[in-house]
Structure 1
Amino acid sequence: MSNEINDPVFQLVKSLTRSEKRHFRLFTNRQGSNEGLKFLQLFDAMDSQEQYDDEKILQQVPSIKRVQLANLKANLYKQMLSSLRLYHGSQNMDIQLREQLDFARVLYNKGFYQQSLKMLEKVKLAALQAQMPHIALNAIDFEKLIESQYITRSLRGKAESLSEEAIEIASHVSRIHSLSNVALRLYGMYINLGHARNREDHDAITAYFKANLPELNIRTASFLERLYYYQSNVWYYYVIQDFRSCYRYAQKWVDLFEEYPEMKNPHTTQYIKGLHNLLLALYNLLYYTKFVKVLDRLEAFASDKDRRSNPNTDVLLFLYIYTNKINAFFMKGNFSEGVQLVPELLKLLKQYQAQLDPHRMLVFYFKIASLYFGSGDNRMAIKYLNKIIHYKDINLREDIQCFARILNLIAHYDAGDDYELDYQIRSVYRFLGKMNDQQQMQVEIFKFLRNLGNITPHELKDAFITLKEKLITIAANPFERRPFLYLDIISWLESKIENVPVQEIMQRKFSNLK
């Protein structure tokens, strides 16, 4: 017996909507062969299962032999993808254009060169209008092939114009790739390390950014060139913690889609990512009034019945909306209210589990733990922090791995678990030694927690005040601010000094911002 929950064919079958399944059956029945009937039977058998079990498949469909199963699954997978390509073709301009390129190839192979050239010209114009220069370049390459082999009466002047078009479009494509490479590389740096930890990180990231970001004339740049240029700047400034510059370029990213509203449909994911990054910058700047407006805009887009909907955009909208809903609770200090969102969030995390990468899950666990910690429920905070601490790949989001352990220490202290606290201090010290990621804030917290046993109750308040003053001095150093982006340790210390809940301190600070 085999329970292959992650079987790719089974996953694709279970992901289909009712209308997609109906279309697939119609698509399959057109073939009218016994082979087609067999993989449709396999499809129905898989669709009826909650977990994939090949033994039950063979029992349900006796006409399928064990030796046939692997080939039938491969054929079923191919047929489903072909059906989905046809079903969603009308909603995806790139699929339509590539189909027309295929038609042009068929006409070319049949010897209908003029018809093929006409179709290629249409593809080229449509691709350029849709900001898909790579497809336009494919069409031009095909045009050049036909013009170089056959006399079509259009060769006079055509060779020069095709060459000039190819050179111009290729230069745009080259810049797009260069810019998108920079954006992707900077994002990869953030996924691995988080924000710049020190001067060395800052200088290395800055050196890479300046050496690899191509010069760009914004006035003549294409939509995609500007988009990736803004993205690269957003990630650079976000990683080095220059949130004002990050905000400026994130706003340019979003404004670009207002300048080209027709691009929201073919580039939906980039549009909502722009809104999300704008929200991240506003969150770090504590610009709440603008934050709420942008979040409302993101939620309005999600609820727009006319927008393009597919599982990819739906999962991104879920990620971005709930991440920023939680951030709104953090800004206001309404942790108890935020905790009420957790059951709904956990349900959706389970629903989208197949589409979520480990990085996203770690981020949500940290945010959930922070909500519980802020509300005073240390046991629940520890529960979700342990999900991060026990994650096997410690190289993923080293920053979250690090600060989850720091918050875990504080939660154990607040919970009054002295035995566990001693163990956690030793464990975290070993972990940070391996990560080579001890900053001054962490060192001071360690010193404080280690010396707790030597501090008498009447001296405790003064000890909190001393630690707070040290941390305020540390936070004045730009390269030591990183830890404070993850833990508002100052507010926690103030809550201990004043003997009030931490969320009361943060709510007071939020009121003073308005």
Structure 2
Amino acid sequence: MTREQKDNLFVLVKSLSKSEKRQFKLYVGRLGVNEDSKFLTLFNILDKLSVYDETVILKKGIVKKQQLSNLKAHLYKQILISLRLNPSHQNIRIQIREQLDFATILYHKGLYKQSLKILDKAKNLAIAHEEKNVAYEIVELEKVIESQYITRSISNRADELTIQAKELSLQNVLASKLSNLSLQLYGIFLKTGYVKNDKEHQVITKYFNNRLPKYDINKLGFREKLWLYKSYLWYSFLTVDFLSCYKYASKWVDLFYDNKDMIVLNPVFFLRGNHYLLEALFYLRQYEKFKDTLTKLEEVTKKKWFPLDDNNEGLAFLYVYNNKFNLHFIEGSFKEGLPLIDELLRQLQHYKDRIDEHHIMVFYYKIASMYFGAGDTKKCIVFLDKIISNKSLQMREDLLCFSRILNLVAHYEAGLDYNLDVLIKSTYKFLIKMEDLYEVQKEIIRFLRGLGDIYPHEVKGAFIKLHKKLKAFEDDPYQKRPFLYLDIISWLESKINNQPIAQVIRNKFLENQGKK
């Protein structure tokens, strides 16, 4: 990681748009401080730096080394206050919080009726926008004010607030249990990956059922349904049930399209829901639905009403381009997809500070796969090397595994056999260190281990033998996952039938379309 990304203040300053920088300086001016104020001077220095360098700041003489951390903390806080005042950041959630703050101030000043009036409006706004946690806070403050018998409210007011508090509390508890379950399942997925046998399937199913709270779907609001669908989605991913993934990802996305105000309020969840829907459709090879979903997502993110702040813009780019590559992989249109690579690399430069390095490595794998499919194995190797040689990042084991296997296959295809033995040994050593290997990976290891002993005239026979073994796993729900990373079967068929791999995949795609 580069040094400037480690300094939070520098990253924050560099993330500001021109209008946000202008507003910050206007905000400082409204504070009435001297133009030569130290924190404003520090802001201007950081704005001009291309890389964070503490020695440059200290040479300016605005502050001593011992005082720099305090000055940076003060500047950081002032920037955040300025951003909070920016109209572009004034979403419903912030507006409700602001009204609650105003009502609290009025309450402490003894202006109880004014406070209750603001609280009532804020509460209705919060409930309408599914902000039930803050709605509960508002009701609790209303109860505090009413309990003092100062307002002489109508007699049923206490019962009304008590019932409302109870309902909101129950909804918040249910949402919390569902969100906890969703997060726990996601954590298991990151730690152990997909289930690999019936025993693991039973363990996950028991874990899920034991923690799934009782609910009545007809009584659930938007927020509770969202967490429910997310929980089922992660359970489906863990158990390699892609049809169920599609079902719950569809419910998740439809929930947003049926409540379009929620897209504006929760754009990250909307984007992620679409990404998981596209992922499920990719695994199921549902081409038409995949294409329609991707087109619709791209169109929505370009609408004027869609909130494209720095975070949302980065996520939209990540998900749209990820799936543009997947569309070419489904079609087998690798050469047609090559212009997408230059486009992606340009965009990565623009978004490099908003996308983590792991996702950049995933893009490199997709670029390598595109080049491999298009027959440009040397460029494929260049991008795989960027992944394999990256020692500073803890990447997913499966990404590293298939990067190495594809790298070996690409070297074989390119005729770069002068160091193939060394490459086979290093790949083999890496793979045997992996825990819980799929049977597919084990067969590939055995094949690689024996590759050096095969005579040229025996190679085709070896390919046919490996193809037969791997074909047996293609429809196995617990073993088919590796084929989604690397279409090793199509590559073997291309070698056996002496056809380009792109043609093999394209023929399968056209045949699949003809059956529909």
Task: Kindly report which structure 2 residues correspond to 1:42-121, keeping only aligned pairs within 5 A, or say none.
Answer: 42-60=42-60, 62-88=61-87, 91-121=90-120
- Matched to 2:235, the amino acid is Y
Task: Kindly report which structure 2 residues correspond to 1:388-407, keeping only aligned pairs within 5 A, or say none.
Answer: 388-392=387-391, 396-407=395-406
CA contact (8 A) 1:193 1:398 kept: no
1:509 deviates by: 1.0
Q: Is the partner of 1:149 in helix, strand or coil?
A: coil
Are the structure 2 counterparts of residues 39 and 393 from structure 1 closer, same or farther at C-alpha, using a change threshold of 3 Å?
closer
1:59 deviates by: 4.3
- For residues 215 and 489 of structure 1, what CA distance do their matches in structure 2 show? 44
1:396 deviates by: 4.0
1:200 deviates by: 4.1
Match of 2:282 in 1: 283
Match of 2:30 in 1: 30
1:470 deviates by: 1.2
- Matched to 2:37, the amino acid is L
TM-score when normalising by structure 1: 0.93
1:155 deviates by: 6.6
* Higher mean C-alpha deviation, range 12-21 or range 78-87: 12-21
Q: After superposition, what is the alpha-carbon deviation per residue over 1:52-105, rounded to whole angstroms, capped at 9, x for unaligned?
A: 223333445x45454443222211111110000010476311111111111111
CA contact (8 A) 2:119 2:142 kept: yes
Are the structure 2 counterparts of residues 51 and 28 from structure 1 closer, same or farther at C-alpha, using a change threshold of 3 Å?
same
- For residues 87 and 112 of structure 1, what CA distance do their matches in structure 2 show? 29
Pair 1:447-2:418 in alignment: no
Q: After superposition, what is the alpha-carbon deviation per residue over 1:471-507, rounded to whole angstroms, capped at 9, x for unaligned?
A: 1112232211121121111100010011121111111
Task: Kindly report which structure 2 residues correspond to 1:364-513, keeping only aligned pairs within 5 A, or say none.
Answer: 364-392=363-391, 396-418=395-417, 420-513=419-512
- For residues 177 and 392 of structure 1, what CA distance do their matches in structure 2 show? 38
Pair 1:9-2:9 in alignment: yes
Match of 1:158 in 2: 157
Q: After superposition, what is the alpha-carbon deviation per residue over 1:418-439, rounded to whole angstroms, capped at 9, x for unaligned?
A: 4533333333333333322322
CA contact (8 A) 1:394 1:401 kept: no
Are the structure 2 counterparts of residues 192 and 147 from structure 1 closer, same or farther at C-alpha, using a change threshold of 3 Å?
same
- For residues 57 and 210 of structure 1, what CA distance do their matches in structure 2 show? 57
* Higher mean C-alpha deviation, range 113-122 or range 379-388: 379-388
Task: Kindly report which structure 2 residues correspond to 1:63-462, keeping only aligned pairs within 5 A, or say none.
Answer: 63-88=62-87, 91-154=90-153, 156-392=155-391, 396-418=395-417, 420-462=419-461
* Higher mean C-alpha deviation, range 76-85 or range 4-13: 4-13
* Higher mean C-alpha deviation, range 212-221 or range 421-430: 421-430
Q: Is the partner of 1:52 in helix, strand or coil?
A: coil
- For residues 90 and 143 of structure 1, what CA distance do their matches in structure 2 show? 28
Identity of aligned residues (%): 47
- For residues 14 and 139 of structure 2, what CA distance do their matches in structure 1 show? 40
- For residues 354 and 440 of structure 1, what CA distance do their matches in structure 2 show? 39
CA contact (8 A) 2:425 2:449 kept: no
- Matched to 1:236, the amino acid is Y
Cα RMSD over matched residues? Answer: 2.2
- For residues 286 and 363 of structure 1, what CA distance do their matches in structure 2 show? 20
Are the structure 2 counterparts of residues 386 and 42 from structure 1 closer, same or farther at C-alpha, using a change threshold of 3 Å?
same
- Matched to 1:512, the amino acid is E
- For residues 155 and 428 of structure 1, what CA distance do their matches in structure 2 show? 77
CA contact (8 A) 1:194 1:398 kept: no
- Matched to 1:163, the amino acid is T
Q: Is the partner of 1:355 in helix, strand or coil?
A: coil
* Higher mean C-alpha deviation, range 2-11 or range 82-91: 2-11
Are the structure 2 counterparts of residues 419 and 41 from structure 1 closer, same or farther at C-alpha, using a change threshold of 3 Å?
same
Q: Is the partner of 1:264 in helix, strand or coil?
A: helix
- For residues 216 and 333 of structure 2, what CA distance do their matches in structure 1 show? 45
- For residues 423 and 313 of structure 2, what CA distance do their matches in structure 1 show? 39
1:240 deviates by: 2.0
Q: Is the partner of 1:341 in helix, strand or coil?
A: helix
CA contact (8 A) 1:407 1:487 kept: yes
CA contact (8 A) 1:179 1:214 kept: yes
- For residues 112 and 14 of structure 1, what CA distance do their matches in structure 2 show? 43
Q: Is the partner of 2:461 in helix, strand or coil?
A: helix
Q: Is the partner of 2:490 in helix, strand or coil?
A: helix
- For residues 387 and 208 of structure 1, what CA distance do their matches in structure 2 show? 39
* Higher mean C-alpha deviation, range 221-230 or range 411-420: 411-420
Q: Is the partner of 2:228 in helix, strand or coil?
A: helix
CA contact (8 A) 1:197 1:482 kept: no
- Matched to 2:428, the amino acid is Y
- Matched to 1:399, the amino acid is D
* Higher mean C-alpha deviation, range 308-317 or range 398-407: 398-407
Q: Is the partner of 2:273 in helix, strand or coil?
A: helix
CA contact (8 A) 1:192 1:396 kept: no
Q: Is the partner of 1:172 in helix, strand or coil?
A: helix
1:115 deviates by: 1.4
1:362 deviates by: 3.0
- For residues 447 and 65 of structure 1, what CA distance do their matches in structure 2 show? 63
- Matched to 2:23, the amino acid is H
- For residues 345 and 90 of structure 1, what CA distance do their matches in structure 2 show? 28
- Matched to 1:448, the amino acid is F
Pick 1 or 2: higher relative contact order, CA cutoff 8 A, min separation 6.
Answer: 1
- For residues 359 and 196 of structure 2, what CA distance do their matches in structure 1 show? 21
Aligned residues between the structures: 512
- For residues 75 and 90 of structure 1, what CA distance do their matches in structure 2 show? 21
CA contact (8 A) 2:4 2:11 kept: no
1:205 deviates by: 2.6
- For residues 349 and 198 of structure 2, what CA distance do their matches in structure 1 show? 40
TM-score when normalising by structure 2: 0.93
- For residues 232 and 88 of structure 1, what CA distance do their matches in structure 2 show? 35
Match of 1:40 in 2: 40
- For residues 72 and 392 of structure 2, what CA distance do their matches in structure 1 show? 33
1:110 deviates by: 0.8
Q: Is the partner of 1:356 in helix, strand or coil?
A: coil
CA contact (8 A) 1:389 1:401 kept: yes
Q: Is the partner of 1:45 in helix, strand or coil?
A: helix
1:380 deviates by: 2.6
